[in-house]
Structure 1
């Protein structure tokens, strides 16, 4: 069963707490959630797919759980998506219905609106769908064209959450706290379905502010680097997390200075992990393992990895295989085939290095973060971390730009105060090999970022 704790209201959590699930200040018990989700399941049973307006609300949780109970693929829809993006996702996914909180049902051409009411109650007793059944259709960011729908099977979700529960020693006695969007793997699969599968209490803060994290009193916290960067800038909020058991960071590399500041202020070295929409989480540091800046740990149980590096190089594309992978891209067999090597390994498109003890480091994306300059292969991530070690630098993004002599030159876009281009170039040269220093430094007021806080390098201004 994908969500066993819903059928055990007085089960492994030691009792069905009235605030077992809290989202943006509103709470319900697992029994209440199961009843509302059962009502949703009854309304949507037999649909080909349903979209859920994935705002931070209890109704979103009930809608997603209702879809999973009914065995209907759930399509999380970003609540701030524009008409073009929304229409593409609805049309491409074939979603016949759009679920949203009662009284806030948005117009959706081609899909009928269905209200979700937390006061409704219904039992759902249909057989559990098989592990190969699609649980979620998650749309990628669309950086290389229109977003593609990744088909995530139920078995992959279950395998991933069980592996993470083991790696992080996640139990029903935990209280998970986060404030991440509910239309991504991190916020929805890990941050909601993970808590419901394990049986731990869930507190979604609505927005991931330092104050909200500090007040939540959790034992397990999820955040992205942007969130953790804000937390360490609020020393009082950071110190309030000292009573937690584990802090987890993901969705983008955690800058080394933020890692060190978190450790100093909270007493916890954060656990970093690695994953993608198509693979869920595949590599992670462990609750009791070594955790060091820039490292995302070792493969989870059942996952095998390899680095496809050119001869003589110590970094290359990370490829993997295992039980957490997606079933393919909806309606795009060519794109699905292109995502795999000839011998069946998934091509992540990320550049990685594996240390002698098996620990993985993610250097960046092959398309934007592997820089070939003067015969050297340089990972943008290590240059970014070196820049962020400078006290005047608040944000940094490094790319390769065409160069007549070098092939590519290293260009750094930074948000900084009281420092010059020459200062930063010299600073990096004292931290890394000389050939890794930026040849150009561009100062910006802010880096372009997406909803998860990831820098969007393709939106950086041209030179």
Structure 2
């Protein structure tokens, strides 16, 4: 039996994957991925042109069956970054859909077109792993916010451990039908969104591109039970719920709504819960660790937290002096460090960077957080960009952003610090008003934050923008904010 995909050991007519017009049963997936695996036998590494198609799913599954590490490529990657990733990972070929147009930067690589309906039998029962649990499964590149992107080597063990921990936390089974529209070049969209359902023996329906109509259709008449998304998607869904009864019914009927990659504003949590009776579950992970924590379904709404550690994951908060914060008082801010079977094997070809990322056997996430009395984690920002030292206090930008988003006159918000001769750093709020003609006054926003949090956390400066600069995943690019202002 294949350790990563048990359902492929006995191929059946159960639906496995649907993306646009393409759909595959487990039997068809076994044949397509098995035929590809046979072509990849003995290959070193392969790049995957990770367009949001069924071909990408088959390409990754085929590589995993062959025991060949796959390197997902973002189709929107620029020339310089693509050249860096190819030079760093040195793939022997690129896998793509027959209709995919590849950039000139890939011209030097042999191309293997993925066939969704190959002739011949492909794989039959009794599939065996072509690699052991510590063998690399995927090499996923970081976003490169602090330098050139690094290749994160994810073992088969890490993938299996993280997906199984989520299955335990979410009661995820073969009966679930997952709906999502996330990109397929990163952990959330590819590992959780494609490999997760296939490991469980369930079904995944990828919308190709996000749309409110697509979510309503697949969660409604389509019988979807789970939805994965990012805050931008849930914000658009929350907007639509007020005038779309079909969407309300579809989301109310879903078993699980999951948001990740960034914090979901409290206001959107409240709007979705009020309209559908469903709470959105937030989880926390990153490329190097896969998933670390999750709010438990049925535990009640927990806006602002990312829940408790998953099975097998140990988590601690560490102060700047290296001491471990023992108190779980909801106030002490420390860096999140984790260890467990979900961790990556290292950065490809970067033993120095790998060593620097660990404190003993604890991985330094760079995320700052506090822990509530019940152990729930509340993220307050990144150590490098979101920890603001003002007036003797250590303040996380994330909690101020959430407070600003709780104001009805604010659509988007980001918080940074800038030098202040008196305070050390002053808190700066970058906001996108809901009504550009009538933005809330700076003093009103400062009072709003002070009332929700504490006076020393109020913004001293408010800067108004038409939009916040964001990356493909919807995360705010704070280094671009001074240019935007």
Structure 1-normalised TM-score? 0.95
Aligned-partner Cα distance in 2 for 1:291–1:389: 16
Aligned-partner Cα distance in 1 for 2:314–2:418: 34
1:223 equivalent in structure 2 = 229
Q: Which of 109, 113, 116 does residue 114 from structure 2 map onto?
A: 116
Aligned-partner Cα distance in 2 for 1:8–1:265: 42
- Residue aligned with 1:460, SS: helix
1:234 maps onto 2:236 in alignment: no
Counterpart mapping for 1:446-461 below 5 A: 446-461=467-482
Aligned-partner Cα distance in 2 for 1:284–1:128: 32
- Residue aligned with 2:174, SS: coil
1:266 maps onto 2:276 in alignment: yes
Aligned-partner Cα distance in 2 for 1:104–1:193: 22
Q: Which of 415, 421, 424 does residue 442 from structure 2 map onto?
A: 421
Counterpart mapping for 1:298-309 below 5 A: 298-309=308-319
1:359 equivalent in structure 2 = 376
1:207 maps onto 2:209 in alignment: yes
2:346 equivalent in structure 1 = 328
Change (3 A) 1:127 1:302: closer
| Alpha carbons 1:291, 1:297 under 8 Å: kept | no
For structure 2, the 5+ residue unaligned runs are: 326-330
Aligned-partner Cα distance in 1 for 2:62–2:381: 37
Q: RMSD of aligned C-alpha atoms?
A: 1.5
Q: Which of 256, 275, 288 does residue 298 from structure 2 map onto?
A: 288
1:13 equivalent in structure 2 = none
- Give the Å deviation of 1:232: 0.2
Aligned-partner Cα distance in 2 for 1:127–1:220: 29
2:154 equivalent in structure 1 = 152
2:26 equivalent in structure 1 = 30
Aligned-partner Cα distance in 2 for 1:239–1:399: 39
Q: Which of 7, 10, 21 does residue 8 from structure 1 map onto?
A: 10
1:409 maps onto 2:426 in alignment: yes
- Give the Å deviation of 1:239: 4.5
Offset from partner CA, 1:186-233 (integer Å, 9 cap, x none): 000000000000011111111122211111021111111111111101
| Alpha carbons 2:16, 2:198 under 8 Å: kept | no
- Residue aligned with 2:144, SS: coil
Counterpart mapping for 1:151-170 below 5 A: 151-170=153-172
Aligned-partner Cα distance in 1 for 2:10–2:232: 36
Counterpart mapping for 1:24-103 below 5 A: 24-103=20-99
- Give the Å deviation of 1:105: 5.3
- Give the Å deviation of 1:118: 0.9
Stretch moving more, 1-10 or 146-155: 1-10
- Give the Å deviation of 1:45: 1.4
Aligned-partner Cα distance in 1 for 2:318–2:177: 39
1:396 maps onto 2:413 in alignment: yes
| Alpha carbons 1:90, 1:111 under 8 Å: kept | no
For structure 1, the 5+ residue unaligned runs are: 11-15
- Give the Å deviation of 1:270: 1.1
Aligned-partner Cα distance in 1 for 2:47–2:152: 14
Structure 2-normalised TM-score? 0.91
- Residue aligned with 1:461, SS: helix
- Give the Å deviation of 1:157: 0.5
Aligned-partner Cα distance in 2 for 1:43–1:338: 38
Change (3 A) 1:38 1:105: farther
* Count of matched residue pairs: 456
